[in-house]
Amino acid sequence: MEENKDKSDHSAAKSGSDEPDVYPRNPDAALAELTDKWKRALAEAENARKRADAARLDGRDHGVVLAVEALAPVYDDICLAIEAARVSPEADNPLITAYVEGLKRTKSAFVAGLKALGVKEIAPEDTPFDPVLHEAMQMQETDETKPGQVLLLHRAGFALGKRLIRPAHVTVSATPGKPK
């Protein structure tokens, strides 16, 4: 029994000397260190939140771009159908007029949906040619406008903020050639 008592005395003495001090020797330095660690952790958490928000927005924009790219041909077909019905010899027919009205409403709803998603339609006419937003399909010589003006829109383009989804296809004015 006395052996156990000796062992417990030694362990008590030993544990007292090995344990760290409960109170730091320099409390101001310890406080400064903990404050610095806390500020760094807070800043890292804020940066992680900002990165997550940016990734979420980028993912949303990517999804919108994919949807517009997939649905843009439908928009083009609606525009072509409206134009074909408008120039048709039977354009005055009440059935054709009702058909065109339905197509115009569908086009209007499509454009409203694009705007709700933040997508801007690029449909320039009588504006200067911009190679960033427009793709020249042909050049047309004319005296009626100055060179480099968009004369005709073949296909609308789309942009999401500063991100171009697809350029507008246009005809651009050119200086008439000199007669030979």
Beta carbons of 113 and 137 less than 8 angstroms apart: no
Which strand (E) or helix (H) includes residue 23? none
This prediction has a pTM of 0.69
Report the number of secondary-structure helices (H) and strands (E) in the chain: 3, 6
Separation between Cα atoms, residue 119 and residue 63, nearest integer Å: 12
Report long-range pairs for 135-139 (Cβ below 8 Å, ≥24 apart): 135/167, 135/168, 135/169, 135/170, 136/170, 136/171, 136/172, 137/169, 137/170, 137/171, 138/171, 138/172, 139/171, 139/172, 139/173, 139/174
Separation between Cα atoms, residue 6 and residue 24, nearest integer Å: 32
Residue 177: its pLDDT value, please? Answer: 76
Q: Which residues pair with 119 in a beta bridge?
A: 160
Residue 20: its pLDDT value, please? Answer: 61
Q: What is the pLDDT along the chain (180 residues), one digit of tens a residue?
A: 555 555 544 444 444 556 665 666 888 888 999 999 999 999 999 999 999 999 998 899 999 999 999 999 999 999 999 999 999 999 899 999 999 999 999 999 999 999 999 999 998 888 999 999 999 999 999 988 889 999 999 999 999 999 999 999 999 999 887 655
Residue 13: its pLDDT value, please? Answer: 47
Residue 12: its pLDDT value, please? Answer: 47
Residue 128: its pLDDT value, please? Answer: 94
Q: Which residues pair with 173 in a beta bridge?
A: 140
Residue 125: its pLDDT value, please? Answer: 83
